[in-house]
Amino acid sequence: MISATVEAQPSQSGEAGLRSLMTRGRWIEVARILFTGLVALLYWQQIVPIWLLWIAVAVGLYPLVKTGLIDLFTERKIGTEIFVTIATLVAVFGGETVAGAVLMVIILIAEFIADLNTDRARASIKALIGSVPQTAIVREDNIERVVPIADLVVGQIVLVRTGEKIPVDGVVVGGLASVNQAPITGESIPQDKADGSPVFAGTIVEAGALDIKTEKVGGDTIFSRIIALVENAEAEQAPVQKLADRVASWLIPVVFVFLIVVFLVTRDVSKIVTLLIFTSPAELGLATPIVMIAAIARAARSGILIKGGLYLEQLAKADAIVFDKTGTLTANKPAVVRIDSLDRTVPEPDILRLAASADRRSAHPLAKAVVEAAAREGLLVPEPDSYEQIQGRGVRATVESRVVLVGNPALLREHNVPIAFAVQSGGQTPVHVAVDGKFCGVLYIADTLRPGAGHAVAALKEHGIRRVVMLTGDNRASADAIANQLGIDEIQADLMPEDKVAVIADLQNRGFKVAMVGDGVNDAPALARADIGIAMGAAGTQAALEAADIALMTDDLGKIVGARNIARRAYRTVQENLWVGVGVVHVLGITAALMGWIGPIQAAFIHLGPDVAVFLNSVKLLRIKIEEA
C-alpha cells in the first residue's frame, strides 16, 4: 500500500515514475538476477566450476525461500515462491542443474516484473487524483509569509493565485477565480468561486486569485480522506478474490499428489520440473488485485470513491436500485412550473411580478421559488410598500398601491376574497394570488428533477438493472408526479426511515441484489441495509463520505451509471484473467508438458505469458473508454 506521506506528482514522466519505484531493495534484486543468470551462462559454456553455480543458485533462491517460509508459517499459505524453490531443487538434484538455474532466473524476472507493475498500478491512484502543495502563503496583519502545510491552523487566511493548487479546505473570503475541481469531484468544467464559496485542497486555480479562510488542514481535508479511503480500499477483498485464494489453497495439495503420481509413472525429473511451473497458483493471486486497484483508481479520477473490491463486485452484480426521491432524483429546490391567470385584467407576467414583490421579504421556500421565477423571467420586482407574514397562511403586502395576497385558500377567505373552490394539482403545490380583493391566478410550485435523472435511470436499465424503485416520505401524488417522468418501476410513498429499510429487505427477500442511493446521512439505515450503499454529493459532507460503500463527490446522477459500468468492466476483466490468462494457458502448458513437447526452460519462458497478459488486461481499465466514466 502506498504511503500517504509520499507524493506522486501528476506531471511526472513515465521514466521518472519508474525511477521512483526502483528502491534499494529492487536494485539488489536486479543484481541478484544478473549474477545468477551470468553464472548459469558461464557454467553452460564450461567457463566456471559447478560450485560457483551452486552459490549462484543459493543466492537466487534466498529471497524466494525467505518469503515462502514467512507466508507458510505466518499466513499458512503455500505461494509461488515455494513452488519455484521446489522446482529448482528438483531440477538441480535431478541432474538438470543448468535448467534449474535458468528456470529460477526466469521466474525471478517474472516475479520482479509482476511486483513492480503492481506497485506502479497502486502509485497511479495518487497520480490520478493529484497532490497538494507542501507550503502555503498566509496573510496575517497585512503581512504575507510562506509557511509549511503542517503549521497551518484553522481560521488562517491563505492566498492562492492562478496556476496554484489550493492547500486547504475552506471558504472564499475574497477574490474571484475559476477552479478546476476534477481531482476531487471529477467535474470537467471549472467552477467559478466567489465570497462564501467552499473550496477543497488539491483543486487548482485556473484563473484569478482567492483569499481562503482555512477550515480543514492536513489529514482532515476531503482530499486526504479520499487518498486514505482509496488506499485502504485494497483491504476490502472482493468475493471473487477470496474465491481465488480458496481455490489456490486446496489446489496446492492436489497438485503435489498429481506430481507424485506422474513421477512414479514416468520417472522423468525434467517433466516434473516443467509441470511444477505450470501448476503454480501464482497467477490466481495476480488475477484480481491489480484489476481492483486499477478500477478503484479509475473511479477516483471520475469523482467516484469505491471503498474496496468487495463493493465493486456487489455493484457489478446489483440488479435492483433504490433511489431516495428528495435531494437525489430531485434537486430539493422548489420551482414555479406553471402559472394560471383567472382574470384577464391581470396577465400571467403581472401575477408572477406582484406575487414575487409580496414574497420578497419572506424566508419560506415557496416564497423563494416565486422570487427566483420572477428573476429568471427578467421581471422588475419592486419593493413592497408594506408587508405582513401570516403564520400558516401566506403573506399580505401592498405593492404599487395594490393589496396583494399570496398564500393558501384560507388566506384569501379570511380577507373576504371570493373563492369558489381551492385549486388542487397532483404533485404540485398551488399558491393562490389575489389582487385588490379579486382571486386572479395560481402559481404551481413543485420540486424539480435533478438534471440527468431521466438519462441515468434509462442507462441503468439498459445496463442490467431489472428494478428501479423510488422511496419518499412525501405524499403519493408528489411521488407519482416525479416517477412518471422517469420511468420508475415501483413507488413507495409516505414512508418513515424504518419503512425504507423494510422495503429494501423485501426486495432482497424477492431475490434482488439491491443498491441504495441516498444522501448518506438521513438515509443511513437504508444505506446500511442495502447490499451496496451509494451516497450522493459527498464532497459537501464528511458524514456522507464515511456513511456509504460508494461515495459520489458531486450530485451528478450520471456518476452512478459510470460507477456501475466501471464495476461491471472490472468484474468481466477478472473473469477474463481467471479463465483465459490463467486457465487456458495453464491447461495448454500442462498438456504440452505431459506430451513431452516442452521442457523446463521453454516452460519458464512461457510462464512469463500469463503474468504479462494478466497485468496488461488489468491496467487497461485506467485508459479504455467507459461510458459515463
Burial of 121 (0-12, 13-18, 19+ CB in 10 A): buried
Q: Which of 135, 168, 360, 268 is nearest to 596 (CA)?
A: 268
- Give me the pLDDT at residue 54, please: 87
User: Could you read off the pLDDT of 208-266 as tens digits, one per residue?
Assistant: 999 999 998 887 787 777 777 666 655 555 555 555 556 666 667 787 788 889 888 98
User: Could you read off the pLDDT of 574-608 as tens digits, one per residue?
Assistant: 888 877 766 677 788 888 888 889 887 787 777 76
User: Could you read off the pLDDT of 288-317 as tens digits, one per residue?
Assistant: 777 888 888 888 878 888 887 888 888 999
Asked: is 332-448 a CATH 3.40.1110.10 domain? The reply is yes
**Is residue 127 within 8 Å of residue 9, measured between CB atoms?**
yes
> Residue 221: CB partners within 8 Å, gap ≥ 6?
132, 168, 169, 200, 201, 202
pLDDT class for 282, splitting at 50, 70, 90?
low
**CA triple 68-73-76, angle to 5 deg:** 85
> Residue with C-alpha cell 512461457?
606
Q: In this structure, which topology does domain 135-218 adopt according to CATH?
A: 2.70.150
Q: Which amino acid would we find at residue 130? A: G
Q: Which amino acid would we find at residue 183? A: P
What are the residue ranges spanned by the domains of the chain? Answer: 14-128+230-296+567-622, 135-218, 305-330+450-563, 332-448
- Give me the pLDDT at residue 12, please: 39
Distances (CA, A) of 567 to 32, 88, 189: 40, 40, 25
State mean pLDDT over 487-499: 85
Query: Under CATH, to which class is 305-330+450-563 assigned?
Result: alpha beta
**With 50 as the cut, is the pLDDT of residue 3 above it?**
no
The percent of residues above 70 in pLDDT, for the chain, comes to 83
**With 90 as the cut, is the pLDDT of residue 353 above it?**
yes
- Quick one: DSSP state of residue 152? -
User: Could you read off the pLDDT of 69-97 as tens digits, one per residue?
Assistant: 887 777 666 666 777 777 778 777 777 77
> Which backbone phi and psi does 3 adopt, to 5 degrees?
-75, 140
Q: Which amino acid would we find at residue 81? A: E
**With 60 as the cut, is the pLDDT of residue 6 above it?**
no
State mean pLDDT over 368-382: 92
CA distance linking residue 465 with residue 77, whole number of Å: 39
Burial of 123 (0-12, 13-18, 19+ CB in 10 A): buried
Classify 557 as helix, strand or coil: coil
Which residues belong to the active site?
Answer: 324
pLDDT class for 114, splitting at 50, 70, 90?
low
State mean pLDDT over 395-408: 93
